[in-house]
Every structure is written in structure tokens, then in C-alpha cells.
Amino acid sequence: MSKNKTDEKNVVPELSEKKRRVTRTPRHASTLSKEFDMLDDSLGYIIKRAQVRTYEVLFGLLGSESITPGRMTALCLVAKQPGISQSELAEMLSITRAAVVKVVDTLETRGFVQRQSIPDNRRTYALAVTPEGYDELRRLTRLSRQYEKQISARLSVDERKQLMALLQRVAL
């Protein structure tokens, strides 16, 4: 046998031995895990996990062809405030004017809203919900009520109110 073949045989046990050493948990692992644990007491992490779970439920109910939650909110705001301008809508959604144009474009393409000219103002449009938009809002409202029941099923009425109040304080 040549020296190379012997060396090759010796390499495999050494690598596996090193691998075993690396994967072993150090004695001070519990101290390290506590020192670097950013999740156990993280409000942001829990809120994000709740958001992911609730969005999974929402998208499961709405289906893949539905508008996004942001567009649902925009459609709802236009319905509640007929004649609202795109700038006002952008402010209420806390998004840029450029972003609201995309939102309104999508809603308009789907036939849910229309832009209406404002006399004496060629730069601003008033937004209005179409009959198809109201039909969609009725469907979304029905599904939203189901969604709310599903995501709060493990909470009492008082716990749900308390959670909403606390999250509202965090959201400000």
C-alpha cells in the first residue's frame, strides 16, 4: 500500500471524530442559550408569530384570488368616506402617495373603485366604491367575521378585548 492510501484511511476517522466533537453540546450551553436568547421574553417575536398565524388563517378563508389585507383596508376606508382623495387615503394608510397609486390602480382594475374628477382641481381625484366593490366588501365582511371568530376562539370575550386594548397601545 502506498502512503497516500493509508493517509486517506486515517482522514475519515479523524473527520468523523472532529464532527462528533463539534456537535457535542458544551457544558455551559444552558448559560449561553440564556445569554443569547432573544425570543423567550420578546414581545416583538410573539407579535410576529401571531401575525404569521393569523395571516395563514385569513388567506385560507379569503382564497388566493382575493385582494390583500392592505387593499381590503383601503377599500373599506373608501366605502366609509366616499369622495376621499388618494392623498388622504395614503395618509390614513400611513403609506406614500406613490404606494397608494398602486393600491388604487389594483382596486380600479378589479372594478372595486373608480376615480372621479373633482371640478376645479385637475390634480386630485375623489375615490368612490363601485357596485362590484360593495359586493366584494360584503363578501370580505362576512369572511372577516369568520376570521375573527377563528383567531380568537381560545380567548374569552374579556381576554379578546384586553388583548386588543394592549395591542392598540403598542401600535401607537
Instruction: Record the pTM.
Output: 0.70
Q: Which residues contact 126 (CB under 8 A, 6 or more apart)?
A: 82, 83, 84, 85, 115, 116, 117, 118
* Domain at 86, CATH number: 1.10.10.10
- Categorize the per-residue pLDDT at 31 as very low, low, confident or very high, splitting at 50, 70 and 90: low
pLDDT digits (tens, 9 = 90+) for 68-101: 999 999 999 999 999 999 999 999 999 999 999 9
Note whether residue 85 is domain-resident. Answer: yes
Say how far apart CA 153 and CA 130 lie, in whole Å.
34
- Categorize the per-residue pLDDT at 121 as very low, low, confident or very high, splitting at 50, 70 and 90: confident
Full residue range of the structural domain in which residue 97 is found:
43-171
Q: What is the DSSP string of 115-148?
A: EEEETTEEEEEEEEE-HHHHHHHHHHHHHHHHHH
C-alpha dihedral (100, 88, 134, 118), degrees to nearest 10: -100
Tell me the sheet residues that pair with 129.
113
pLDDT digits (tens, 9 = 90+) for 34-43: 666 666 778 8
33 vs 78 pLDDT, higher one: 78
Note whether residue 136 is domain-resident. Answer: yes
Note whether residue 142 is domain-resident. Answer: yes
**Quick one: average pLDDT of 7-11?**
44
**Quick one: average pLDDT of 123-150?**
94
Residue 123 has pLDDT above 90, yes or no: no
Note whether residue 28 is domain-resident. Answer: no
Average pLDDT, the chain: 84
- Categorize the per-residue pLDDT at 150 as very low, low, confident or very high, splitting at 50, 70 and 90: very high
Phi, psi of 43 (to 5 degrees): -60, -45
Q: CA of 147: how far to CAs of 39, 53, 144, 164, in Å? A: 27, 12, 5, 15
Q: Which three cell numbers stand for residue 33?
A: 442559550
Structurally, the chain folds into a number of domains equal to 1
